[in-house]
Amino acid sequence: MNRKKRINSFKAVLPSLGRNEAYCRNLAVAFLAQADPTVEEIADVKTVISEAVTNCIVHAYKNERDESKRKIYIEGVQFEDNTFRFTVKDKGCGIEDIKKAMEPLYTTDAESERSGMGLPIMQTFSDSFRIKSEVGKGTTVTFSKKVSGSDEG
Amino acid sequence: MQDNNRIIYALGGEIDHHKATAIRSEIDDLIMEERPKILTFDFTNVKFMDSSGIGLVLGRTRTMSAVGGRVEIVGASKSIERLFRMAGADKLVEIN
C-alpha cells in the first residue's frame, strides 16, 4: 500500500499485560520522536496505540489459558516523507463482526466498562486505518500518521 | 474531600484500561460511603486518556444515579474533552 522508501523500523513482542499498555505507547512515541512531531500528533498516535493494545489485553486473549501465547506484536515503520505506519497484532480470538465493532458505543464487554469507542477513535485519530481479523486466528490493526515536523530548522 | 454534598476526585497521570480498572472500585466505595450529590472528576493533572476514561466516568454516572447524585468534569484538556464529546458523554455529564 505504500511505495515510499522506508528509512527506519522497529518490532517488539510483549506479553499481553495491562502494565504494557503504557510501555507500548511510550515505545511508539520514542520512535515517532525522531521526526519532531507536534504535541497533537504525539497524542493522536498514543491514543490509537493505547486503544489497539487495550483490545489485545481485554478481548483477544480472553479465552486463551496458555499465558505464553498471550502476546502483543507491535511494529513501526518510518518512511522518508515522515509518514509513520504502526501495526498492532494479536493471535487471539478475532472479531466476529468488524462492522458492528466499528459502530460507536458498541461493545461486547460492558462488564469491564469498555465504552465501545475504541475502533471509532482509532479511525478518527489516524490518517489511514485498517483492521483485519479472523475468528480464531487473531486481529491486526494497521494505521498511519504523517508527522508534519514542528520545525525544519 | 470538601463538603458533604460533593466529592472532588483528582485524577492524574495517564488514564488507560489498566489504571481505570485499578481505581474504579475505590471510587465506587467512596460514593457508597459518602453518598454525595455531586462527584467532580478533576482532570487538571491528567496527561493522557484513552477511551477507558470514558468508560470510567460513564460507569460512575451509574453509581451516582443509584445514590441520587450526578457527575461533573473539570479541568479536561481539549483532547480529553474531544474524546468525551465523541462518545456523547457530554449529554450525561456536565463538562466545565
Count the neighbouring beta carbons within 10 Å of the beta carbon of residue A79: 18
Q: Is the pLDDT of residue A80 over 90?
A: yes
Residues of B in contact with A104 (CB under 8 A): 86-87
pLDDT given at position A3: 78
pLDDT given at position B1: 52
Among the partner residues B50, B55, B59, nearest to A47 by beta-carbon distance: B50
**Span of A58-62, A111-115, B50-54, B85-89 with lowest mean pLDDT:** A111-115
Q: A18 and B18 in contact by Cβ < 8 A?
A: yes
Q: A115 and B51 in contact by Cβ < 8 A?
A: yes
Query: What confidence tier does A111 reach under pLDDT thresholds 50, 70, 90?
Result: confident
In a domain, A151, yes or no: no
pLDDT given at position A15: 97
Q: Is the pLDDT of residue A153 over 50?
A: no
Residue of A50, A59, A109, A122 to mutate for B, most B C-beta atoms under 10 A: A50
Q: Is the pLDDT of residue A11 over 90?
A: yes
Rounded mean pLDDT, A49-77: 95
Give the domain range for residue A61.
6-146
Query: What confidence tier does A120 reach under pLDDT thresholds 50, 70, 90?
Result: very high
User: Are the C-beta atoms of residues A47 and A117 closer than 8 Å to each other?
Assistant: no
Please report which helix (H) or strand (E) contains residue A140, including its range: strand A138-146
Domain count, chain A: 1
From A15, A12, A25, select the one nearest A71 (Cα to Cα). Answer: A15
Among the partner residues A54, A105, A113, nearest to B87 by beta-carbon distance: A105
CATH placement of domain B6-95: 3.30.750.24
Within A46-135, strands assigned E span 71-79, 83-90, 128-134
Q: Is the pLDDT of residue A2 over 60?
A: no
**Distance, CA of B21 to CA of B40 (rounded, Å):** 19
Sequence-distant (≥ 6) Cβ neighbours of residue A51 within 8 angstroms: A118, A119, A121, A122, B50, B51
**Span of A3-12, A60-69, A122-131, A144-153 with lowest mean pLDDT:** A144-153
**Distance, CA of A126 to CA of A114 (rounded, Å):** 21
Q: Is the pLDDT of residue A20 over 50?
A: yes
- Which grid coordinates are listed for A72? 502483543
Distant-in-sequence contacts of A119-128, Cβ < 8 A, 24+ apart: A119/A51, A120/B86, A121/A47, A121/A48, A121/A51, A121/B50, A121/B51, A121/B83, A121/B86, A122/A47, A122/A48, A122/A51, A122/A52, A124/B86, A125/A44, A125/A45, A125/A47, A125/A48, A126/A44, A126/A48, A127/A83
Helix, coil or strand: residue A124: helix
- Which ipTM did the prediction report? 0.87
- The answer for A 78-107 residues in CB contact with B (under 8 A) is 104-105
Query: What confidence tier does A150 reach under pLDDT thresholds 50, 70, 90?
Result: low
pLDDT given at position A1: 55
Query: What are the pLDDT tens digits along chain B (96 aa)?
Result: 555 699 999 999 999 999 999 999 999 999 999 999 999 999 999 999 999 999 999 999 999 999 999 999 999 999 999 999 999 999 999 999
- The answer to whether B54 faces chain A, any CB pair under 8 Å, is yes
In a domain, A57, yes or no: yes
Residues of A in contact with B20 (CB under 8 A): 113
| Burial letters A88-127, b for 16+ CB under 10 A, else e | bbbbbbbbeeeeebbeeebbbeeebbbbbbbbbbbbbbbe
pLDDT given at position A151: 56
Provide the CATH number for the domain around residue A112: 3.30.565.10
**Distance, CA of B3 to CA of A34 (rounded, Å):** 49
Residues of B in contact with A50 (CB under 8 A): 16, 48, 50
pTM, full prediction = 0.91
Q: A115 and B54 in contact by Cβ < 8 A?
A: yes
Tell me which residues of A are annotated as active site. Answer: 51, 55, 114
Q: What is the percent of chain A with per-residue pLDDT over 70, rounded to a whole number?
A: 96
pLDDT given at position A112: 85
